[in-house]
Structure 1
Amino acid sequence: MTLSTTYALDNDQRGAGISLAWLAQILDPHTMRILEPRLEPGARVLELGAGTGSIARKVADIVIHEPAAAAGDHGDRSVLHAGPRGLVVATDLKPIHVQPTHPGVRVEKHDLRSQPVAGIGGGPWDLIHARCLLAHLGRRDQLVAELAAVLAPGGYLVIEDWGGVGAGVVLRAPTGETEVLYSAYQQALRSYLQVHGNDGTWILRAYRLMVEAGLEAEVLTGATSWVGGQAGCRLPIELSKQIEDQLIEHGIALDDLRTLRTHLVNPDVTVMGNLTWSFVGRRPIAAG
């Protein structure tokens, strides 16, 4: 099988911003439950694959502390907030959907496939976060060690992904057709992602790679059920529009996609969302 070198889910695709917004609604609560206990005011945070920037903004609310205005300070908030004030850098290959509304968030264009993470100014980092990103990258295994290397002592690397283990399923529907259509959609999506280099088994290696990179690692998981019309059902609707032609090429009929979309807004339908795997690695603080 020949793998494509382009991203399967490109920010330039029609409707990509809508899909990213629904993804944020689904995952942000779980992500913040992971991140918040590991953040403190003044921390330096790197957000990779920032999407809409929702996590970067939430993190900035925690780590950015504005000191009282000094004499002669006219409130110039364009100055980069670093050092004890904290810093959040949000990167993406195409950061066109990032909406920074916090003065402490710095947005940068960055390609993890070819540009070293050490080249992003602001480190060493107290926390690095990447969500639904590394599974799409061919260098995913090597990147774990590279990211661990730019952590400050005591800093955290948090990698979150979906994969072939814990895919979404239909829990309840008026007829069996919903389950058949949803399964066909998932199969076409997995096939399309695989051709574009996505590795659904990556989550089974991530913990070991963190340990081999010298981190103290643990794994936390989470999933939520969603009623038709809610965020977890809206994402497959919008994603199926974003990559409609590609899904059809990978085995699902257009009429089936259209029918599935009507099922996923039906309040009598309930689906279980994908299982989110959150890998948390802490760089030890050297003794003495």
Structure 2
Amino acid sequence: MTTRGTDHGDVPGHDHGYLLDNRRAEAGTRFEAFAELFDPVTFRHVDALGVGAGMRCWEVGAGGASVPLGLAARVGPGGTVVATDIDVSWARDAAGGVVRVLRHDVAADPAPPGGFDLVHARLVLVHVTDRAEALRRMVGALRPGGRLLLEDADPGLQPLLCPDESGPEQRLANRLRSGFRALMAERGADLAYGRTLPRLLREAGLEEVGADAYFPITSPACAVLEAATVRHIRERLVAAGLATDEEVDRHLANVATGTLDLATAPMVSAWGRRPLSAAGSTPDPGR
């Protein structure tokens, strides 16, 4: 929602079959890597949407504390940030002041009350089984004129961990990444979800819809993220016959050399505005 997200997404949810359980120690490392990789992109969009003093924001699937704290700095003491997740273990550091942290399932629980000027989710919906219902609830939580910013992965657009597959180390990396995505798909992740976001926002009745995409290559944070992810899922990879323990150890050693040009899946950011005439109505996102 933790973030929720993709090979980057972290939607916490051990009870919901989520592959990357936030209760594992590796989750904290992953959230730190996400923040380094994607916070500049997220806040570039947040600032372009005009989020500022006194506004009310809902951060869905907060995962770690970096986005709620960044929003809090923008809305100031007169604003409110509600940060929700199925598992709030890693978001608690943001609690206090204008930030409220709540345990919440976006596809099952009513939206926090009050209406919001911004609703944001990063690397969350790709992992949620009932994505259409989650989106409907987020759109319905917007105030008239409020903005929805969704950022989600699309591994289908760029499926390789090493886009430059130049040797055995890169081939092994890409095979393990393919296994990871197979495990995600088995648990209901939509590996082509990111590209659908602009259409879904329009079908939800939002106006001024726009989108772009970003994926880093060769950032040190990519290596940190990959090592933490593989350690997190190694038992599942081995149990499913997707890799051997020796292959996992070899891959981790290759990552540690810092010589692999590692990439993430593209993160598609899409945004839109709820019409000012939408008071009292809740658009129904297309399925």
Normalising by the residue count of structure 2, what TM-score does the alignment of the two structures yield? 0.84
Q: Alignment partner for residue 273 of structure 1, among 255, 258, 264?
A: 264
Q: 1:242 matched to which residue of 2?
A: 232
Partners of 1:57 and 1:102 within 8 A in 2:
no
SS in 1 for 2:249: helix
Q: 1:40 matched to which residue of 2?
A: 52
Instruction: Give the distance between the partners of 1:258 and 1:243, measured in 2 at CA.
Output: 13
Q: Which runs of 5+ in 2 are unaligned?
A: 1-14, 279-287
**Map of 1:80-95 to 2, 5 A cutoff?**
85-95=78-88
Partners of 2:223 and 2:258 within 8 A in 1:
no
Further displaced range: 52-61 or 270-279: 270-279
Q: Which string of whole-angstrom CA distances, capped at 9 and with x for unpartnered residues, describes residues 119-172 of structure 1?
A: x13x31100011111111111023222211221122111111112222344255
Q: 1:165 matched to which residue of 2?
A: 157
Instruction: Give the distance between the partners of 2:247 and 2:45, measured in 1 at CA.
Output: 37
SS in 2 for 1:128: strand
Bigger radius of gyration: 1
Q: Alignment partner for residue 219 of structure 1, among 205, 211, 222?
A: 211
Instruction: Give the distance between the partners of 1:152 and 1:255, measured in 2 at CA.
Output: 53
SS in 1 for 2:256: coil
Q: 1:50 matched to which residue of 2?
A: 62
Instruction: Give the distance between the partners of 1:277 and 1:199, measured in 2 at CA.
Output: 14
Partners of 2:107 and 2:137 within 8 A in 1:
no
SS in 2 for 1:236: helix
Instruction: Give the distance between the partners of 1:129 and 1:157, measured in 2 at CA.
Output: 6
- Percent identity among equivalent residues? 27
Number of residue-to-residue matches in the alignment: 259
Q: Which amino acid aligns with 1:18?
A: T
Instruction: Give the distance between the partners of 1:102 and 1:29, measured in 2 at CA.
Output: 23
Q: Alignment partner for residue 196 of structure 1, among 187, 191, 199?
A: 187
Q: Which runs of 5+ in 1 are unaligned?
A: 66-84
Further displaced range: 245-254 or 86-95: 245-254
Further displaced range: 52-61 or 28-37: 28-37
Partners of 1:162 and 1:275 within 8 A in 2:
yes
SS in 2 for 1:261: helix
